[in-house]
Amino acid sequence: MNTEQRIALIKQVGEEIVTEQELFELLDRKKQPIAYDGFEPSGQMHIAQAVFRTINVNKMIKAGVKFKILVADWFALMNNKLGGDLEKIRTTGDYFIEMWKASGMETGKVEFVWAKDLVRKPGHWKTTIDIARNSTVKRIMRCSQIMGRKSSEELSAAQIIYPCMQAADIFHLKCDIAQLGMDQRKVNMLAREVGPKIGFWKPIVVSHHMLLGLTPPSSSAKDSADILLDMKMSKSKPDSAIFMTDSKEDVERKIKKAYCPEKIVENNPILEYCRHLVFEKNKKMRIERPQKFGGNIEFNSYAELEASFVKGDLHPMDLKNATAGYIDKMLEPAREHFSKGKPKKLLEQVQSFNVTR
């Protein structure tokens, strides 16, 4: 695979790349650059964390990138996940890794790093402090969205440390590419700004799309940024996401209730599921419907499906019924994997934590 082909594959992952020229130069000079993403272990995994993340990681690996996943136990503690219980957090971290295996991630080619081990690396704490020393409080507060916070007024003192430590991780993981979601963009840009000032480099930022939650935005959401944050999948709103061990009945119920305004593409989570999950896994999509409503139809690309939906030729309910079937099939490997043995016990432990955030 030449540099242009590798770039093309990474562009399938990155909704935004800062910068594409830097990425080209990196791939041209380095056979296997390092990229990372990080996850707070915080309860049962939903389909975006598992299947969508797996699709993107596998593409990065195919493009010749060495991928590291940070199991961010200390970050979950700072963000008060699972009541700040480190034992529960770390049990959930083990469950996360097991779920990625069940989702088809090429885990043999992924390096899993725990934050508890990374922070012990020589110089990590100094890098965290150096980033803090070279950043204003205002700049750090602007990163509050990376922790799922709409307002900096909600932050604890521990959460002020969070962005500095996250930026430090990039350098101590020796990452060339910060390959996280668009919600993490601000802290990745912080690392680009501060890195050269403290003796490191400018990481390239490849930000992947954030799948919308299934519930509609609240009436209080005022602009596009508010809407996207409001519609983000959340464990505190179980019907906003499909969880990896949801039953067929759960999937059908959630999809049936999901926000899917007729003929509207913008902020439509069902179309998002089709584009980023169904077509990625199947390359085509078959819609079954009664003959009086046009009969069965098959789409060979997402663009075809979207065009039909916008014209009104495809009704939201027919789209939902088909989407539910495809999503249900995606969950079957995880359901099977966690139905017996050690994975089953691990899942039961995580379920017993009764996550509310």
34 close to 173: Cβ distance less than 8 angstroms: yes
Q: Which CATH number fits the domain that encloses residue 279?
A: 1.10.240.10
What is the predicted pLDDT for the residue at 225? 54
| Planar angle of CA 270, 301, 246, nearest 5 degrees | 35
* 300 shares a domain with 197: no
Query: Token match 């519609």: residue?
Result: 231
Domain boundary among 208, 226, 259: 208
* 202 shares a domain with 95: yes
Give the CA-trace dihedral at 326, 252, 245, 269, to 10 degrees.
Answer: 70
Amino acid at 237: K
What is the predicted pLDDT for the residue at 227? 58
Would you say residue 221 lies in a domain? no
* The pairing of beta strand 14-18 with beta strand 177-178: unpaired
Number of domains the chain is built from = 2
Domain boundary among 208, 237, 264: 208
Q: How many CB atoms lie within 10 A of CB 227?
A: 17
Would you say residue 175 lies in a domain? yes
Partnered with residue 83 across adjacent β-strands are none
Would you say residue 124 lies in a domain? yes
* 64 shares a domain with 200: yes
pTM tops 0.85: yes
What is the predicted pLDDT for the residue at 143? 87
* 181 shares a domain with 250: no
What is the predicted pLDDT for the residue at 158? 87
Domain boundary among 208, 236, 260: 208
What is the predicted pLDDT for the residue at 45? 96
Residue span of the structural domain in which 138 resides: 3-208
Angle, to 10 degrees, between the axis of helix 341-351 and the axis of helix 86-102?
Answer: 130
Would you say residue 354 lies in a domain? no
357 residues of the chain, pLDDT tens digit each: 899 999 999 999 999 999 999 999 999 999 999 999 999 999 999 999 999 999 999 999 999 999 999 999 999 999 999 999 999 999 999 999 999 999 999 999 999 999 999 999 999 999 999 999 999 999 998 887 666 655 556 778 888 899 999 999 999 999 999 999 999 999 999 999 999 999 999 999 999 999 999 998 776 555 555 555 556 666 667 789 999 999 999 999 999 999 999 999 999 999 999 999 999 999 899 999 999 888 999 999 999 999 999 999 999 999 999 999 999 999 999 999 999 999 999 999 999 997 654
From the list 154, 329, 336, the residue with the least C-alpha distance to 252 is 329
What is the predicted pLDDT for the residue at 293? 87
Would you say residue 229 lies in a domain? no
* 198 shares a domain with 287: no
What is the predicted pLDDT for the residue at 277? 98
Q: Which CATH number fits the domain that encloses residue 157?
A: 3.40.50.620
